[in-house]
Amino acid sequence: MEPGGAELLLVEDSPDDVEFFLHSFRAANIPAQIQIAQDGAEALDFIFGTGDHADRSPPGRLRAIVLDLKLPKIDGLDVLRRVKGDPRTKHIPVIVLSSSREERDLVEGYQLGINSYVVKPMQFDEFAELVRVLGRYWLQFNATPK
Protein backbone atom coordinates (compact mmCIF):
# COMPACT_ATOMS: atom_id res chain seq x y z
CA MET A 1 0.00 0.00 0.00
CA GLU A 2 1.30 3.42 -0.94
CA PRO A 3 1.11 6.15 1.73
CA GLY A 4 -1.50 8.92 1.52
CA GLY A 5 -3.73 10.00 -1.32
CA ALA A 6 -6.60 8.31 -3.07
CA GLU A 7 -7.16 4.57 -3.03
CA LEU A 8 -6.70 2.60 -6.25
CA LEU A 9 -7.35 -1.11 -6.75
CA LEU A 10 -5.10 -2.88 -9.25
CA VAL A 11 -6.57 -6.23 -10.31
CA GLU A 12 -3.74 -8.09 -12.01
CA ASP A 13 -2.58 -11.71 -11.90
CA SER A 14 0.88 -11.19 -13.45
CA PRO A 15 3.48 -10.51 -10.73
CA ASP A 16 5.73 -8.81 -13.32
CA ASP A 17 2.95 -6.44 -14.42
CA VAL A 18 2.15 -5.66 -10.77
CA GLU A 19 5.81 -4.79 -10.12
CA PHE A 20 6.04 -2.68 -13.30
CA PHE A 21 2.86 -0.85 -12.31
CA LEU A 22 4.01 -0.18 -8.73
CA HIS A 23 7.48 0.92 -9.85
CA SER A 24 6.04 3.27 -12.47
CA PHE A 25 3.50 4.68 -10.03
CA ARG A 26 6.19 5.39 -7.41
CA ALA A 27 8.42 6.99 -10.04
CA ALA A 28 5.55 9.27 -11.08
CA ASN A 29 5.25 10.41 -7.45
CA ILE A 30 1.45 10.19 -7.42
CA PRO A 31 0.10 10.05 -3.87
CA ALA A 32 -2.11 6.98 -3.65
CA GLN A 33 -2.85 3.90 -1.64
CA ILE A 34 -2.55 1.05 -4.12
CA GLN A 35 -4.30 -2.19 -3.23
CA ILE A 36 -3.58 -5.34 -5.22
CA ALA A 37 -5.97 -8.18 -6.05
CA GLN A 38 -4.49 -11.14 -7.92
CA ASP A 39 -7.77 -12.60 -9.18
CA GLY A 40 -11.38 -11.65 -9.70
CA ALA A 41 -12.64 -13.26 -6.49
CA GLU A 42 -10.13 -11.33 -4.38
CA ALA A 43 -11.08 -8.12 -6.20
CA LEU A 44 -14.78 -8.59 -5.44
CA ASP A 45 -14.01 -9.37 -1.78
CA PHE A 46 -11.98 -6.17 -1.54
CA ILE A 47 -14.54 -4.00 -3.34
CA PHE A 48 -17.57 -5.30 -1.43
CA GLY A 49 -15.95 -5.96 1.95
CA THR A 50 -16.45 -9.73 2.01
CA GLY A 51 -14.22 -12.78 2.62
CA ASP A 52 -10.71 -11.78 3.72
CA HIS A 53 -11.78 -8.11 3.48
CA ALA A 54 -14.89 -8.40 5.68
CA ASP A 55 -13.42 -5.74 8.00
CA ARG A 56 -13.40 -3.21 5.12
CA SER A 57 -16.27 -0.77 4.73
CA PRO A 58 -17.51 -1.23 1.15
CA PRO A 59 -16.75 0.50 -1.12
CA GLY A 60 -14.45 2.49 1.17
CA ARG A 61 -12.41 5.29 -0.34
CA LEU A 62 -11.88 3.53 -3.65
CA ARG A 63 -11.35 6.15 -6.39
CA ALA A 64 -10.60 3.88 -9.35
CA ILE A 65 -10.14 0.26 -10.38
CA VAL A 66 -7.50 -0.82 -12.90
CA LEU A 67 -8.72 -4.18 -14.15
CA ASP A 68 -7.12 -6.91 -16.23
CA LEU A 69 -9.64 -9.02 -18.14
CA LYS A 70 -7.94 -12.42 -18.21
CA LEU A 71 -8.02 -13.35 -14.53
CA PRO A 72 -8.17 -16.61 -12.58
CA LYS A 73 -11.25 -17.63 -10.55
CA ILE A 74 -13.56 -14.85 -11.80
CA ASP A 75 -12.68 -13.07 -15.05
CA GLY A 76 -12.48 -9.32 -15.44
CA LEU A 77 -15.74 -8.96 -17.34
CA ASP A 78 -17.61 -10.71 -14.52
CA VAL A 79 -15.94 -8.39 -11.99
CA LEU A 80 -17.04 -5.47 -14.15
CA ARG A 81 -20.64 -6.75 -14.27
CA ARG A 82 -20.77 -6.89 -10.47
CA VAL A 83 -19.17 -3.48 -9.94
CA LYS A 84 -21.31 -1.65 -12.50
CA GLY A 85 -24.45 -3.55 -11.46
CA ASP A 86 -24.30 -2.46 -7.83
CA PRO A 87 -25.57 1.03 -6.89
CA ARG A 88 -22.83 1.35 -4.23
CA THR A 89 -20.03 0.91 -6.76
CA LYS A 90 -21.34 1.73 -10.24
CA HIS A 91 -19.87 5.25 -10.03
CA ILE A 92 -16.29 4.01 -9.48
CA PRO A 93 -14.23 4.48 -12.65
CA VAL A 94 -13.01 1.18 -14.09
CA ILE A 95 -10.01 1.27 -16.41
CA VAL A 96 -9.34 -1.96 -18.27
CA LEU A 97 -5.61 -2.55 -18.68
CA SER A 98 -5.32 -5.70 -20.74
CA SER A 99 -3.07 -7.41 -23.24
CA SER A 100 -6.22 -8.35 -25.19
CA ARG A 101 -6.71 -6.59 -28.49
CA GLU A 102 -9.88 -8.58 -29.21
CA GLU A 103 -12.72 -6.39 -30.49
CA ARG A 104 -15.30 -8.43 -28.56
CA ASP A 105 -13.51 -7.64 -25.24
CA LEU A 106 -13.46 -3.95 -26.10
CA VAL A 107 -17.12 -3.87 -27.15
CA GLU A 108 -18.36 -5.91 -24.19
CA GLY A 109 -16.27 -3.86 -21.77
CA TYR A 110 -17.84 -0.62 -22.93
CA GLN A 111 -21.32 -2.16 -22.99
CA LEU A 112 -20.81 -3.12 -19.34
CA GLY A 113 -19.72 0.38 -18.38
CA ILE A 114 -15.93 0.65 -18.38
CA ASN A 115 -14.55 4.17 -18.42
CA SER A 116 -11.44 3.39 -20.45
CA TYR A 117 -9.83 0.46 -22.28
CA VAL A 118 -6.06 0.47 -22.62
CA VAL A 119 -3.92 -2.23 -24.23
CA LYS A 120 -0.76 -2.95 -22.21
CA PRO A 121 2.32 -1.68 -24.02
CA MET A 122 5.11 -4.22 -24.50
CA GLN A 123 7.98 -1.81 -23.81
CA PHE A 124 8.73 -0.85 -20.19
CA ASP A 125 9.18 2.87 -20.98
CA GLU A 126 5.78 2.99 -22.68
CA PHE A 127 4.20 1.04 -19.81
CA ALA A 128 5.71 3.48 -17.28
CA GLU A 129 4.39 6.49 -19.20
CA LEU A 130 0.95 4.91 -19.48
CA VAL A 131 0.80 4.27 -15.72
CA ARG A 132 1.90 7.86 -15.01
CA VAL A 133 -0.77 9.30 -17.31
CA LEU A 134 -3.51 6.98 -16.00
CA GLY A 135 -2.62 7.70 -12.38
CA ARG A 136 -2.50 11.45 -12.79
CA TYR A 137 -5.72 11.62 -14.78
CA TRP A 138 -7.90 9.23 -12.74
CA LEU A 139 -6.56 10.12 -9.28
CA GLN A 140 -5.56 13.76 -9.55
CA PHE A 141 -7.60 15.38 -12.32
CA ASN A 142 -10.81 13.34 -12.62
CA ALA A 143 -13.57 14.34 -10.17
CA THR A 144 -15.70 11.55 -8.69
CA PRO A 145 -18.63 11.61 -6.27
CA LYS A 146 -17.81 11.09 -2.61
Could you write out the DSSP letters of every residue in 54-121? TTS-TTTTEEEEEE-SS-SSS-HHHHHHHHHTSTTTTTS-EEEEES---HHHHHHHHHHT-SEEEEPP
pTM of the model: 0.92
Separation CA 137–CA 116 (nearest Å): 12
pLDDT tens digits, residue range 3-23?
456 889 999 999 999 999 999
pLDDT band at 129 (very low <50, low <70, confident <90, very high): very high
pLDDT tens digits, residue range 35-82?
999 999 999 999 999 999 888 876 667 899 999 999 999 999 999 999
* Structural domains of the chain, ranges and CATH numbers in brackets: 6-140 (3.40.50.2300)
